[in-house]
C-alpha cells in the first residue's frame, strides 16, 4: 500500500492530504529547498505553511534545539521555572510595543486564539465576538466559530455570538473595485451598522488578521484596523490581531502586520514561523486583559523548553540578520516581477513583503477559476517550485517563502511561476 493509501486508511476523512492524489512526501530540507522521497529537490516558496520562517537545517536553530535536548529536555510543564520561556517572553513583550505586556505560550495558533478569546470574553463579561468574513483562526470549537470560510468551518454551534464584518476583497463582494479611502469608509460604516443592528451592545472583541492568510492573502488598505479601533474604543470593545501568518517581519515594512494600521491591539496572537517547525504559539497583550482569567490555567507543553529554545534562536536570527529588511527587499522584487505579468487569467497580484497572493479568474471576468489555479500550481511543481493554494474559492496561489529567501532564489522562482502562468494561459487558447 502506498503511503497515501495508508494515510487515507487511518486518518479521518476530514483530514485529507490537502494537495491531493500525487502529494509529495518531503523527507529532507536545506536552506529554502526540500527533497522528496524520490530524491527530487524543489525550491519551497511556501515555507511549509509559512512555518519554516528561517529555512531548513539552519545551524543556529538546530544547534539551539540540540543543546536543549542535550539537557535531557530539562523538564516540561510549568511547575518549575523555564529560563528559555521567560527569556522568549521578555523579547516578545518588548517587540510588541504594548506597555506592561504579558505573554502566554501555547502549542499552536488555534490555542493562541482560544486563549485570546478566553481572556477577552472574561474581561468584558460578554461572549459576543466580531469576526471578518473570509477569515481563518483555527480548528477548535471556538476558533472554527469565528472562522468566516465555509471550507474550514464546520461549526454552526458556537460558544460565542458571532457577528460578521465584510472582508476587504477588492475583486468581489461589497468592497469590489473600491478605492483605499472608500474601503475604509465602507468598513467603518459596516462596523457601525453591525454594532447598532445585530449586537446587544456589549461586544467583547473584534478579531482580525492584518492579511487574511488561508483566505487568499486578502488585505485592506493601511489604516483600516486603526479606523476600526476608533469605533471599538468608543464602545469599549477589544481588538485582537491574529498575527499567526503576518508576524516577525514577514510583511517587510513592519515587524507586525498591525503596525501598517497605526494601532496597538489589546491582544496579539502568534504561532507558525516563531518555532521554525517546532510547535510554538502564544498571546501577547495588555496586562489588565491578559490577567483576566479567573482561574489558574497552565499548558503542559505550551512554551516547553525545546520549543522555547527554538523560538529564542528564531527570534535572534530574525533580528540579527534583519530578515524584515530582507522580506522588504526580496518581496519587492517578487511583487514587481509578478505585477509585470499581464494575462487575462491573472486578476490580482497582492500582498506585502514575502506574503504574496495571485488570484486566477476566467478570462474577461472576475469569476474565480480554481481549475486554472490548480494547473498553474501543478506546472510550478513540474518546474521544481512549491507554492501554496487557497482563498475562499480555491483560486489563489500563495507565496510565503522563508524570510531568508535570496534575490537569486526569488528570480529563479519568479521565472518558474511566469513560465507556468504563460503555459496555463496558452492552454486555454
Q: Give the residues lining the site for ligand PLP (CB under 6 A).
A: 108-110, 113, 136-138, 209, 213-214, 242, 244-245, 271, 281
Q: Which of 218, 161, 220, 214 is nearest to 188 (CA)?
A: 220
Q: Are strands 205-208 and 238-242 parallel, antiparallel or unpaired?
A: parallel
Minimum CB distance to ligand PLP smaller for 244 or for 374: 244
Minimum CB distance to ligand PLP smaller for 52 or for 412: 52
Minimum CB distance to ligand PLP smaller for 136 or for 317: 136
Cross-strand partners of 34: 29, 42
Helix, strand, or coil here: 206? strand
Measured from the CB of residue 321, what is the shortest distance to ligand PLP in angstroms? 24
Measured from the CB of residue 277, what is the shortest distance to ligand PLP in angstroms? 12
Minimum CB distance to ligand PLP smaller for 7 or for 139: 139
Grid cell digits, residue 347: 486578476
The pair phi, psi for residue 414, each rounded to 5°, is -60, -45
Measured from the CB of residue 106, what is the shortest distance to ligand PLP in angstroms? 9
Give CA–CA dist 252/246, Å, rounded. 10
Q: What is the DSSP letter of 259?
A: G
Measured from the CB of residue 246, what is the shortest distance to ligand PLP in angstroms? 8
Q: Which of 408, 410, 392 is nearest to 400 (CA)?
A: 410
Measured from the CB of residue 272, what is the shortest distance to ligand PLP in angstroms? 6
Listed in order, strand segments (DSSP E) in 6-157 are 26-30, 33-36, 41-44, 101-106, 128-132
Minimum CB distance to ligand PLP smaller for 61 or for 274: 274
Residue nearest to ligand PLP (CB): 109
Minimum CB distance to ligand PLP smaller for 160 or for 409: 160
Measured from the CB of residue 147, what is the shortest distance to ligand PLP in angstroms? 9
Do the beta carbons of residue 412 and residue 331 sit within 8 Å? no
Give CA–CA dist 403/271, Å, rounded. 15
Amino acid at each position: 500500500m502506498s503511503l497515501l493509501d495508508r494515510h487515507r486508511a487511518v486518518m479521518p476523512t476530514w483530514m485529507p492530504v490537502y494537495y491531493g492524489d500525487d502529494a509529495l512526501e518531503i523527507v529532507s530540507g536545506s536552506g529554502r529547498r526540500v527533497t522528496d522521497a524520490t530524491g527530487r529537490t524543489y525550491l519551497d516558496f511556501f515555507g511549509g505553511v509559512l512555518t519554516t520562517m528561517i529555512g531548513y537545517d539552519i545551524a543556529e536553530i538546530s544547534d539551539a534545539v540540540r543543546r536543549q535536548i542535550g539537557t535531557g529536555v530539562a523538564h516540561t510543564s510549568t511547575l518549575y521555572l523555564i529560563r528559555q520561556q521567560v527569556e522568549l517572553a521578555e523579547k516578545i513583550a518588548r517587540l510588541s510595543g504594548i506597555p506592561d505586556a504579558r505573554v502566554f505560550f501555547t502549542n499552536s495558533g488555534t490555542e493562541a486564539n482560544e486563549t485570546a478569546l478566553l481572556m477577552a470574553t472574561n474581561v468584558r463579561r460578554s461572549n459576543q465576538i466580531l469576526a471578518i468574513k473570509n477569515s481563518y483562526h483555527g480548528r477548535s470549537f471556538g476558533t472554527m466559530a469565528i472562522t468566516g470560510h465555509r471550507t474550514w468551518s464546520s461549526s454552526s454551534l458556537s460558544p460565542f455570538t458571532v457577528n460578521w464584518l465584510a472582508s476587504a476583497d477588492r475583486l468581489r463582494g461589497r468592497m469590489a473595485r473600491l478605492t483605499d479611502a472608500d474601503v475604509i469608509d465602507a468598513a467603518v460604516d459596516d462596523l457601525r451598522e453591525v454594532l447598532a443592528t445585530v449586537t446587544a451592545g456589549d461586544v467583547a472583541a473584534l478579531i482580525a488578521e492584518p492579511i487574511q492568510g488561508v483566505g487568499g492573502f486578502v488585505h485592506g488598505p493601511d489604516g483600516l484596523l486603526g479606523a476600526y479601533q476608533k469605533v471599538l474604543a468608543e464602545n469599549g470593545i477589544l481588538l485582537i490581531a491574529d498575527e499567526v501568518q503576518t508576524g516577525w517581519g514577514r510583511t517587510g515594512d513592519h515587524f507586525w502586520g498591525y503596525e501598517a494600521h497605526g494601532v496597538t491591539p489589546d491582544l496579539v496572537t502568534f504561532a507558525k514561523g516563531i518555532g521554525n517547525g517546532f510547535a510554538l504559539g502564544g498571546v501577547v497583550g495588555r496586562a489588565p486583559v491578559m490577567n483576566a482569567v479567573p482561574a489558574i490555567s497552565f499548558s503542559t507543553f505550551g512554551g516547553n523548553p525545546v520549543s522555547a529554545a527554538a523560538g529564542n534562536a528564531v527570534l535572534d536570527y530574525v533580528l540579527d540578520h534583519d530578515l524584515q529588511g530582507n522580506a522588504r527587499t526580496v518581496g519587492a522584487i517578487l511583487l514587481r516581477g509578478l505585477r509585470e505579468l499581464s494575462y487575462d487569467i491573472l486578476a490580482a497580484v497582492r500582498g506585502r513583503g514575502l506574503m504574496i497572493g495571485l488570484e486566477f479568474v476566467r478570462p474577461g471576468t472576475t469569476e474565480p477559476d480554481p481549475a486554472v489555479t490548480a494547473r498553474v500550481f501543478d506546472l510550478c511543481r513540474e518546474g521544481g517550485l512549491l507554492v501554496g493554494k487557497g482563498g475562499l474559492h480555491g483560486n489563489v496561489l500563495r507565496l510565503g517563502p522563508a524570510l531568508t529567501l535570496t534575490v537569486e532564489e526569488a528570480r529563479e522562482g519568479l521565472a518558474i511561476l511566469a513560465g507556468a502562468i504563460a503555459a496555463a494561459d496558452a492552454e486555454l487558447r
